[in-house]
Amino acid sequence: MDRLDIDLGERLVPYGEGARLQDAVHAAVVSGRRRSTIIALEHEPVYTVGRRTHSWERPKGDIAGPDRVPVVDVDRGGKVTWHGPGQLTVYPIVRLAEPIDVIKYVRALEAAVMDVCAELGIPSTRIEGRSGVWAPGRPDDPRGPFFRAERKICALGVRVARGVTKHGIGLNVSPDLDAFALDRIIPCGIDDAGVTSIAAEVGRPPGALAAGALADGVVAALEDRLAPLRAD
C-alpha cells in the first residue's frame, strides 16, 4: 500500500482540504491510476456529522460560526464526532476484494487499533452493537469513576463506493476531551459512555503526546490487518 502523511507534526489540516485529497485519492484508486493508499493527518478542530445522525444529536449551542468549530455534514456512516489537535485521523483508501464484506473491513480497522493499544500496554476491546475501539471499565479501578466505565478511545466511520473505501478512524492520542462533552455533542450518538485518549489511559495530560508519533505503528497495523481484504 502507498502512504500519504499530510504535514504530520507541522500543521493542522483543514477538514475541507483533507476531504478534497481523500476524494482525489479515492478517484485515482477507483480508476486504477494508483494503489490502495493510507492517508494520515491531524485536522483543525471540526465536528463531522454522519448520515445516521439525528437532529438532536448534532452539535449543541453556539459552537459553529467563523471563529468557532465548524460543523460539516459528510457521506460516511455513523453519527457525529470531533476531529482536531491531538487526534490521529487515518483514511485508508482501499480497493476491497470481492465479495466485499464491509463488516469484515470494519472489524479489521478495529483490530489494527487494538494491536496498537496492546503495543502501548493499554487494554482495549470491542462492544457489541457499538463501533470503534473501547477501553474496558473496571468497577474497582483505583484511578476513579471515569475509568470504571467503558470509554471510547477510537471512533470509526466508513463508506465504500465503487469497491473502494473512504473515511476511516480517529484515534484519540492526546486531545482535549472537552471537545466530546455532552453539552456540545452526543459523540457517535452514545450518551451513556465516555470518551478517552491514549494520554488519559497512561496518566498524561492533554497535549503531552504527539499524535504523529503513533502514525508509523498505526499504519503498519492497518497494512497488516487489511492485507487479506485488499484487491491490489
Residue 80 among known ligand-binding residues: yes
pLDDT digits 0-9 by tens, 42-55? 999 998 887 767 66
pLDDT digits 0-9 by tens, 71-86? 888 888 777 889 999 9
Task: Read off the pLDDT of each residue in 200-218 and give the average, rounded to a whole number.
Answer: 93
Residue 21 cell numbers, joined: 485529497
Burial class (CB in 10 A: 0-12, 13-18, 19+), 133: buried
pLDDT digits 0-9 by tens, 12-24? 999 999 999 999 9
Catalytic residue status for 154: no
Phi then psi for residue 187, to 5 deg, are -60, 120
Q: Which residue has the higher pLDDT, 222 or 58?
A: 222
For residue 151, give the amino acid letter.
R
Q: Choose among 44, 87, 41, 38: nearest CA to 209.
A: 87
Residues 6+ away with beta carbon under 8 Å from 227: none
The Cα–Cα gap between 174 and 210 comes to: 7
Q: Which segments of 16-69 are extended strands (E)?
A: 37-41, 46-49
Q: How confident is the model at residue 61 (pLDDT cuts 50, 70, 90)?
A: low
Q: Are strands 164-172 and 194-195 parallel, antiparallel or unpaired?
A: unpaired
Residue 156 among known ligand-binding residues: yes
Residue 82 among known ligand-binding residues: yes
For residue 56, give the amino acid letter.
W
Helix (H) or strand (E) holding 171: strand 164-172
Where do the domains of the chain lie?
2-229
Per this entry, what is the length of the chain?
232
Residues 6+ away with beta carbon under 8 Å from 73: 48, 49
Q: Among 4-8, 30-34, 112-116, name the one with the lowest average pLDDT.
A: 4-8
Within 35-170, residue ranges assigned H as helices are 102-119
Q: What does the pLDDT read at residue 90?
A: 98
CATH of domain 2-229: 3.30.930.10
Residue 214 among known ligand-binding residues: no
Within 52-170, residue ranges assigned H as helices are 102-119
Catalytic residue among 108, 135, 171, 188: 188
Residue 211 among known ligand-binding residues: no
Answer for the pair 83, 15: CB distance below 8 angstroms, yes or no: yes
Q: What does the pLDDT read at residue 220?
A: 98
Instruction: With 0.85 as the threshold, say if the pTM is over it.
Output: yes
